[in-house]
Amino acid sequence: AQSVAQPEDQVNVAEGNPLTVKCTYSVSGNPYLFWYVQYPNRGLQFLLKYITGDNLVKGSYGFEAEFNKSQTSFHLKKPSALVSDSALYFCAVRGFGKLIFGAGTRLAVHP
């Protein structure tokens, strides 16, 4: 079955420090992977996607994600966190022709 797991409900990081939000997936065939961000009272915004090619994918707002096929992971990263990065982050995988979302990870960046 196609699924996505985000093992951390919340990630806390100090401003200026690197951040990582974890995601693992289970899918048959080649994975199409996505990261979205959700700010309060707003819809989801697309950050980046992995379809094929380089394992390191660069996206919006300085975010990047590393695809690791052997570990079936697609972790979201940023070298230096900003307070404005505080939001809810969702990993998603395309399965059965639809996007299957994880439960989300709340990122809190402290000044």
Partner 1 sequence: EAGVAQSPRYKIIEKRQSVAFWCNPISGHATLYWYQQILGQGPKLLIQFQNNGVVDDSQLPKDRFSAERLKGVDSTLKIQPAKLEDSAVYLCASSLVVGGSTYEQYFGPGTRLTVT
Residue 32 interacts with partner 1 (CB under 8 A): yes or no: yes
Least Å distance, CB 6 to partner 1, is: 8
> How crowded is residue 92: how many other Cβ atoms within 10 Å of its Cβ?
22
Helix (H, G, I), strand (E, B) or coil at 40: coil
Q: Among residues 101, 74, 76, which one has the least CA distance to residue 90? A: 101
Least Å distance, CB 46 to partner 1, is: 4
Q: Among residues 101, 102, 77, 74, which one has the least CA distance to residue 13? A: 77
Residue 65 interacts with partner 1 (CB under 8 A): yes or no: no
* Options 13, 31, 63, 104; binder of partner 1; rule CB under 8 A: 104
How far, in Å, CA of 36 to CA of 26, rounded?
A: 18
Chain centre distance of CA 97: 20
Q: Which span (16-24, 32-40, 64-72, 78-86) binds partner 1, by CB under 8 A?
A: 32-40
The dihedral through the CA atoms of 83, 84, 87, 92 has a sign that is negative
* Options 1, 29, 41, 53; binder of partner 1; rule CB under 8 A: 41
Q: In this complex, which beta carbon is closest to partner 1, that of residue 16 or of residue 61? A: 61
Q: In this complex, which beta carbon is closest to partner 1, that of residue 15 or of residue 72? A: 72
Q: Which span (12-20, 21-29, 42-50, 73-81) binds partner 1, by CB under 8 A?
A: 42-50
